[in-house]
């Protein structure tokens, strides 16, 4: 479990980093938090010829909050985002999800944007970005482009990021006024990848009646799937809405795969149960906001 | 008299060093050594057609590549079968490097030696082995069916077959008023110590001496095995065991292929070589345990008393049998627990499969045996509508029946005779601790709220401290410092502390003056090893006996010096003094000086031992004919047979009605390991054991696919529980001394793990209302069991355990 040989690049500016990535092309990988890449290297499941370590690049570790939402820089660690009270106030789903990301030591090193770039459909932040309709910014020597979450996640561990591109930040928009969110998941052990996880967003009108209910799913689809479940609970108040019915709406709309930890049938069952739980909690949070 | 240390909750003296990163483990040694890595079989079963190493030869930093063809003499022969037993029908062991066939994924085929491990792994990746794949045999069912065989030359996969019987069990069952059958199933798990295996060898060509460091549970065993394989005299091999980051059984296996190849290569190359196992190697190429299928037939009377018990066990021993059949022997004997089984018949078949070998893992077959017996007790209770604790009580061996002969042969080849124990008292304690009698009300109240809670109880008896022997050596330096050595090794159990407590009391010296060395053949060449909860019993007794010898000598010498009667002397705080007249005394260090008559003084203190000082007795030689110089004592403890610890666990679980998550609400333990040397250490052992018991009940399994690939060979997918999954453990102790050893102690190392699967299965069963017969059980599996139960595919309790034994098998 030692990595194969690779050339190591340690740029200190974004321009240097993008030049390095352009030079190495498909034979290069970006190293940020390394929480997924380093194990892949040690297991020799990946053998890039070049690692471009962006940890020394200045100006990428920001967590900034404005009227539109929270912008997270490429080097902001999960722990930085989780601890940011302004970010949690603007987009509560961030802290709600981040506390479920592995363990504190992993969150201390792992980056939120790196997790998005890894495009793991069992990751919390991919689901959060998808649920909120957020976007990422990719930079290369050719320039910058903004990619919506819907267009970014293509398949398991597969994104629309192009060779030579570096994800420089991600934007998590504020949920609409009157909204509440919640994040719930079930893992075999505390901090493990979830067997199923649900991020939910419920929006209420001024009479506290549901106008929108959406949920994003992890570990049950190849990409962070978002389902609109408004029809099951529209017009109801949080205490009269039938969230279990919303859970049943999920049935047939997910086609999870089984693995050694959970069968496909069990995951589908969890998706129903957790949908109801997450929506109920999100609706409760919407009332309190 | 100073404070007695034995029995005190003394803080572990080794901990400050170990938890502040100052431990010295195998991979901390040998910075200048070459690194070894191995090409391992990617197939579960294959014939090696060709090995092409040319691709690796231009890797910069490569030192050597070895295959079986490079080996000769004993090294080219199969590894030893460590524990031969007449029931072994065909005992296969591996070669140091695969000769023609490979029988599990991970089996070493080629050894690479290089400048460092990185380079070695680069070279490994470039070696091409051409395999002809053969049919894998995975799982007990496939092994028993024997449509495919693991080993060429065998007609089936049965490595060993053993029947033990006391009375006529089948006749007793046939005549019993009640009869139940159960089919039970336990999955594989593994020790998974924090530190994997590791070996570091230094060959000194000038002295023709081998120094071998190994992360092992037996220094003396490795020494003998390596000497035999390398054609060396025992005196040419020194084995030193550095700090070891956990063993739990896997490191008692020896010699590992790597443990032979590393010193062999060091000698061949004239250069230090080291191999430190990585985690993936440990998962696939070390050892596993637990997997068994059991069929139980039991006959009992209307009070729940056993009349006859017939158990048929299929045991998966993996690809080879280097450690013999200790695990199924332990299962089949320790299954009896604290009970009188009536007539008992047990039969096991130990089966080859094309998977990693199966050797003892903490508990060593007992968790499976306890699972069989305790599931049977619960089934009897369900059948008769009796309280589960009452059924157990009806079958207990009573204290006045001790010593109790179960009529079988135990794993040490000696009679299974329980030396002492008080099972009714333990039951009372555990019922009180967990609130057994109040639970029904709690469960009913919880059910009314839509919650599912259940309680379980499981009892066990653990044979600990088997022989043949261990030794102790205690020496007082002229400084007054005391050096203690014992041959068995330590893996974090706190032996330095516990053994020092024992010696402190025996000698009357402060613990701070005592240092303890374990697992170093230079200090104590005669030894067996650390396994079967024997460290404290064996080495504790041995160092106590050695210290007593030393004390006798010290008092004799001091009596001469003080012109007193040895009978009137005592040792207090490292000073020998006249009882009642403490001013008349002599430091133990001075006694050490006097114990060694000198010609030459090398410092101020040693002058006292030279020939022209003090009063000489011209009628005696300076060293008497039956004496020897130095203030030392050596002795060995060899028990008549094992001593039997016992205990009972009770657990309360809650299962989520929707998600089928299983949460442990309370975990209670009553534990009797005889006299406690150090309650803090014993409780730590229980905590760790319970963690591994919970692991085996709810989390861990080895997930082999049908092709023999291990799908979860990492800590990401092998679910060793985190601290967040391990419950708080509530402990109560009972102390029933053992009459077999000088300290009255019994082993404590494995106890915590033993009833884990049984007690948690019982509690989940109680919460759910249907039988749990397979462990571990995951939320996903519980979800499917519920589905089957709802559709009528599983019978409700009582009645779930039927004559046809369907249950949820």
Residue B731 has pLDDT above 50, yes or no: yes
Q: Which residue of A has its CA nearest to B711?
A: A260
Q: Give residues with Cβ within 8 angstroms of B180, minimum separation 6.
A: B296, B297, B298, B300, B376, B379, B380, B383, B801, B802, B803, B805
Residues of chain A whose C-beta is under 8 A from some C-beta in B? 1-5, 43-44, 103, 186, 188-193, 195, 260-263, 265-266, 269-270, 273-274
**Rounded-to-integer distance, Cα B256 and Cα B40, Å:** 14
Contact at CB, B722 and A191, closer than 8 angstroms: yes
Residue B615 has pLDDT above 80, yes or no: no
List of chain B residues whose C-beta atoms are within 8 Å of the C-beta of residue A269: 783
pLDDT of residue B608: 84
- Percentage of residues in chain B having pLDDT higher than 90: 94
pLDDT of residue B798: 67
**Tokens 């020494």, residue?**
B223
Q: Which residue of B has its CA nearest to A43?
A: B280
Residue B73 has pLDDT above 70, yes or no: yes
CATH of the domain at A230: 3.30.390.50
Question: Could you give the number of structural domains in chain A?
Answer: 3
ipTM of this complex: 0.96
* Mean pLDDT in residue range B559-570: 94
Beta strands in A54-141 (DSSP E): 63-66, 69-73, 135-140
Q: Does B706 touch chain A (CB under 8 A)?
A: no
**Rounded-to-integer distance, Cα B155 and Cα B241, Å:** 42
Q: Does B515 touch chain A (CB under 8 A)?
A: no
| A56 domain-assigned | no
Domain that holds residue A38: 7-49
Residue B207 has pLDDT above 50, yes or no: yes
Contact at CB, A263 and B780, closer than 8 angstroms: yes
Pair B247, B214: CB distance under 8 Å: no
CATH of the domain at A94: 3.30.465.10
Pick the CATH number of B366-466+640-790 from 3.40.50.300, 1.10.150.120, 3.30.365.10, 3.90.79.10: 3.30.365.10
**Rounded-to-integer distance, Cα B4 and Cα B503, Å:** 11
Among the candidates A173, A206, A234, a domain finishes at A173
pLDDT of residue B611: 85
Q: What is the CATH number of domain B467-637?
A: 3.30.365.10
Question: If phi over 0 gives left and psi between -120 and 50 gives alpha, with beta otherwise, what is residue B86?
Answer: alpha
Token duo for residue B199: 């070996």
Contact at CB, B722 and A190, closer than 8 angstroms: yes
Among the candidates A150, A173, A196, a domain finishes at A173
Pair B587, B480: CB distance under 8 Å: yes
List of chain B residues whose C-beta atoms are within 8 Å of the C-beta of residue A265: 783-784
**Is beta strand B34-40 parallel, antiparallel or unpaired with respect to B273-276?**
parallel
Give the tens place of pLDDT for each residue, B237-296: 999 999 999 999 999 999 999 999 999 999 999 999 999 999 999 999 999 999 999 999
Token duo for residue B187: 């999955």
**Residue of B42, B275, B658, B788 best to disrupt the A interface, most CBs of A under 10 A:** B658
| Residue among B122, B778, B780 whose CB faces A4 most closely | B122
**Rounded-to-integer distance, Cα B220 and Cα B487, Å:** 7
DSSP-derived secondary structure for B119-175 = HHHHHHHT-EEEEEE-----SHHHHHHTSS-SSTT-SSSEEEEEEEEES-HHHHHHH
Indicate whether A191 and A140 sit together in one domain.
Answer: no
Indicate whether A163 and A112 sit together in one domain.
Answer: yes
List of chain A residues whose C-beta atoms are within 8 Å of the C-beta of residue B279: 1
| A113 domain-assigned | yes
List of chain A residues whose C-beta atoms are within 8 Å of the C-beta of residue B725: 189-190
pLDDT of residue B801: 55
Predicted confidence band at B806 (pLDDT cuts at 50, 70, 90)? very low
Contact at CB, B118 and A2, closer than 8 angstroms: yes
Contact at CB, B122 and A5, closer than 8 angstroms: yes
Indicate whether A184 and A284 sit together in one domain.
Answer: yes
- Percentage of residues in chain B having pLDDT higher than 70: 98
Q: Does B551 touch chain A (CB under 8 A)?
A: no
**Rounded-to-integer distance, Cα B650 and Cα B426, Å:** 12
Give the tens place of pLDDT for each residue, B733-771: 999 999 999 999 999 999 999 999 999 999 999 999 999
pLDDT of residue B799: 55
Q: Which string of b and e fits B783-807 if b means at least 16 CB within 10 Å?
A: bbbbeebeeeebbebeebbeeebbb
Among the candidates A126, A157, A173, a domain finishes at A173
Q: Does B279 touch chain A (CB under 8 A)?
A: yes
List of chain A residues whose C-beta atoms are within 8 Å of the C-beta of residue B711: 260
Contact at CB, A273 and B659, closer than 8 angstroms: yes
Give the tens place of pLDDT for each residue, B491-542: 999 999 999 999 999 999 999 999 999 999 999 999 999 999 999 999 999 9
* Mean pLDDT in residue range B112-118: 97
pLDDT of residue B756: 97
Q: What crossing angle do the helices spanning B495-507 and B541-562 adopt, rounded to 10°?
A: 30
List of chain B residues whose C-beta atoms are within 8 Å of the C-beta of residue A189: 699, 719, 721-722, 724-725
Neighbours of A106 (CB within 10 A): 15
| A14 domain-assigned | yes
pLDDT of residue B646: 97
pLDDT of residue A257: 95
Pair B570, B577: CB distance under 8 Å: yes
Contact at CB, A269 and B711, closer than 8 angstroms: no
Indicate whether A167 and A187 sit together in one domain.
Answer: no
- Phi first, then psi, for residue B166 (nearest 5°) are -125, 115
Query: Helix or strand or coil: residue B47?
Result: strand
Residue B406 has pLDDT above 60, yes or no: yes
Q: What residue spans of B324-420 are helical by DSSP H?
A: 326-334, 366-384, 388-395
Neighbours of B207 (CB within 10 A): 9
Predicted confidence band at B41 (pLDDT cuts at 50, 70, 90)? very high
Domain boundaries, chain B: 32-134+191-285, 366-466+640-790, 467-637
Question: Fold match between B32-134+191-285 and B366-466+640-790?
Answer: no
Q: Does B661 touch chain A (CB under 8 A)?
A: yes
Contact at CB, A44 and B121, closer than 8 angstroms: yes
Q: How far is CA B12 from the centre of its chain?
A: 21
DSSP-derived secondary structure for A20-33 = HHHHHGGGEEEESS
Indicate whether A77 and A45 sit together in one domain.
Answer: no
Predicted confidence band at B125 (pLDDT cuts at 50, 70, 90)? very high
Token duo for residue A283: 């609706």
* Mean pLDDT in residue range A60-86: 98
**Rounded-to-integer distance, Cα A90 and Cα A83, Å:** 13
**Rounded-to-integer distance, Cα B646 and Cα B402, Å:** 13
Calculate the alpha carbon distances from B141 to B238, B239, B365, B375 in Å: 44, 41, 19, 22
Residue A157 has pLDDT above 50, yes or no: yes
Contact at CB, B717 and A261, closer than 8 angstroms: yes
Class of domain B32-134+191-285: alpha beta
Listed range (B86-100, B173-187, B697-711, B783-797) with the worst mean pLDDT: B783-797
pLDDT of residue B605: 84
Token duo for residue B806: 């369907």
Residue B805 has pLDDT above 70, yes or no: no
Which among B34, B534, B29, B642 is positioned nearest to B247, based on CA atoms? Answer: B534
Give the tens place of pLDDT for each residue, A93-130: 999 999 999 999 999 999 999 999 999 999 999 999 99
Indicate whether A70 and A96 sit together in one domain.
Answer: yes
């Amino acid at each position: 479990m030692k990595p194969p040989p690779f050339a190591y690049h340690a740029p200190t500016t974004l321009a240097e980093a993008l030049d390095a990535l352009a030079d190495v092309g498909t034979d290069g990988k970006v190293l940020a938090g390394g929480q997924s890449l380093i194990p892949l290297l040690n297991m020799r499941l990946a053998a890039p010829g070049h690692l471009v370590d962006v940890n020394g690049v200045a100006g990428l570790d920001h967590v900034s909050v404005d009227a539109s939402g929270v912008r997270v820089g490429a080097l902001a660690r999960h722990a930085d985002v989780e601890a940011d009270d302004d970010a949690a106030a603007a987009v509560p789903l961030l802290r709600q999800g981040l506390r479920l990301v592995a363990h504190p030591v992993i969150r201390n090193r792992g980056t939120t944007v790196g997790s998005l770039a890894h495009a793991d459909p069992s990751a919390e932040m991919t689901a959060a970005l998808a649920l909120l309709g957020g976007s990422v910014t990719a930079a290369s020597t050719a320039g910058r482009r903004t990619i919506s979450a819907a267009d970014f996640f293509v398949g398991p561990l597969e994104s629309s990021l192009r060779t030579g591109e570096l994800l420089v930040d991600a934007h998590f928009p504020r949920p609409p006024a009157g909204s509440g969110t919640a994040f719930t998941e079930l893992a075999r052990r505390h901090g493990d990848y979830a067997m199923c996880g649900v991020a939910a967003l419920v929006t209420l009108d001024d009479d506290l009646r549901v106008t929108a209910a959406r949920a994003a799913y992890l570990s049950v689809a190849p990409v962070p799937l978002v389902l609109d479940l408004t029809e099951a609970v529209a017009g109801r108040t949080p205490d009269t809405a039938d969230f279990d019915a919303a859970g049943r709406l999920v049935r047939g709309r997910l086609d999870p795969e089984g693995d050694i930890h959970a069968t496909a049938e069990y995951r589908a069952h969890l998706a129903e149960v957790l949908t109801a739980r997450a929506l109920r909690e999100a609706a409760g949070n919407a009332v309190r906001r | 008299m100073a404070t007695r240390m034995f029995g005190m909750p003394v803080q572990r003296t080794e901990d400050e060093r170990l938890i502040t990163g100052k431990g010295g483990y195998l991979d901390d040694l040998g910075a200048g050594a070459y690194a070894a890595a191995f090409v391992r079989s990617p197939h579960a079963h294959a014939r090696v057609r060709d090995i092409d190493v040319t691709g690796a030869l231009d890797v910069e930093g490569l030192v050597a590549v070895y295959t079986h063809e490079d080996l000769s003499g004993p090294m080219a022969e199969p590894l030893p079968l460590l524990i031969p037993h007449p029931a072994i029908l065909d005992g296969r062991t591996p070669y140091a490097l695969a000769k023609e066939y490979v029988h599990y994924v991970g089996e070493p085929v080629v050894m690479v030696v290089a400048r460092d491990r990185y380079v070695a792994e680069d070279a490994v990746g470039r070696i091409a082995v051409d395999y002809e794949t053969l049919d894998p045999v995975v799982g007990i069912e496939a092994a028993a069916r024997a449509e495919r065989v693991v080993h060429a030359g065998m007609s089936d996969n049965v490595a060993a077959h053993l029947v033990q019987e006391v009375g006529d069990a089948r006749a007793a069952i046939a005549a019993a008023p009640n009869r139940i059958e159960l089919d039970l199933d336990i999955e594989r798990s593994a020790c998974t110590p924090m530190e994997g295996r590791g070996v570091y060898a230094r060959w000194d060509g000038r002295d023709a001496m081998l120094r071998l460091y190994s992360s092992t549970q037996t220094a003396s065993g490795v020494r003998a095995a390596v000497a035999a394989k390398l054609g060396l005299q025992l005196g040419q091999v020194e084995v030193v065991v550095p700090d070891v980051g956990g063993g739990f059984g896997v490191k008692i296996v020896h010699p590992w292929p790597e443990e032979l190849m590393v010193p062999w290569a060091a000698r061949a190359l004239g250069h230090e070589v080291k191999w430190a196992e990585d985690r993936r190697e440990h998962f696939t190429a070390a050892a596993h345990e637990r997997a068994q299928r059991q069929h139980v037939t039991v006959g009992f009377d209307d009070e729940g008393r056993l009349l006859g018990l017939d158990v048929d066990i299929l045991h998966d021993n993996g690809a080879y049998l280097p450690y013999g059949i200790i695990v199924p022997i332990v299962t089949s004997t320790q299954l009896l627990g604290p009970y009188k089984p009536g007539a008992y018949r047990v039969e096991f078949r130990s089966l080859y499969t094309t998977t990693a070998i199966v050797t003892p893992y903490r508990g060593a077959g007992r968790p499976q045996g306890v699972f069989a017996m305790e599931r049977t007790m619960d089934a009897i209770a369900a059948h008769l509508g009796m309280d589960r604790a009452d059924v157990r009580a009806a079958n207990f061996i009573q204290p006045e029946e001790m010593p109790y002969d179960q009529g079988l042969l135990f794993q040490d080849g000696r009679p299974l005779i329980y030396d002492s124990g008080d099972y009714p008292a333990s039951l009372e304690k555990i019922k009180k601790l967990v609130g057994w009698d109040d639970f029904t009300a709690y469960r009913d109240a919880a059910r009314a709220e839509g919650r599912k809670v259940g309680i379980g109880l499981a009892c066990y008896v653990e044979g600990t401290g088997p022989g043949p022997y261990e030794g102790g050596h205690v020496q007082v330096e002229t400084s007054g410092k005391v050096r203690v050595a014992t041959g068995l090794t330590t893996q974090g159990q706190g032996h330095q502390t516990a053994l020092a407590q024992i010696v402190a009391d025996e000698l009357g010296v402060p613990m701070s003056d005592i240092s303890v060395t374990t697992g170093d053949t230079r200090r104590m060449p005669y030894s067996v090893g650390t396994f079967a909860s024997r460290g404290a019993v064996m080495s504790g007794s041995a160092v106590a006996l050695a210290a007593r010898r030393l004390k006798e000598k010290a008092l004799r010498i001091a009596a001469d010096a003080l012109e007193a009667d040895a009978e009137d002397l005592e040792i207090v705080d490292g000073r020998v003094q006249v009882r009642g007249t403490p001013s008349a005394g002599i430091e133990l260090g001075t006694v050490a000086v006097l114990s060694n008559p000198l010609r030459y003084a090398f410092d101020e203190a040693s002058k006292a031992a030279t020939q022209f000082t003090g009063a000489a007795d011209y009628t005696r030689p300076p060293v008497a004919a039956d004496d020897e110089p130095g203030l030392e004592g050596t002795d060995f403890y060899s028990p008549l047979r094992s001593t039997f610890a016992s205990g009972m666990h009770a657990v309360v679980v809650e299962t989520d009605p929707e998600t089928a998550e299983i949460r442990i609400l309370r975990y209670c333990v009553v534990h009797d390991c005889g006299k406690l040397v150090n309650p803090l250490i014993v409780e730590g052992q229980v905590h760790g054991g319970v963690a591994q018991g919970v692991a085996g009940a709810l989390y861990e399994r080895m997930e082999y696919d049908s092709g023999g690939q291990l799908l979860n060979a990492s800590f990401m997918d092998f679910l060793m529980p985190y601290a967040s999954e391990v419950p708080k453990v509530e402990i109560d102790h009972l102390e029933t001394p053992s009459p077999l050893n000088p300290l009255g102690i019994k082993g404590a190392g494995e106890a915590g793990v033993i009833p884990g699967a049984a007690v948690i299965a019982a509690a989940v069963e109680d919460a759910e209302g249907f039988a749990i017969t397979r462990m571990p059980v995951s939320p996903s599996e519980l979800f499917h069991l519920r589905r089957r139960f709802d559709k009528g595919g599983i019978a409700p309790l009582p009645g779930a355990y039927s004559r046809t034994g369907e249950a949820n098998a």
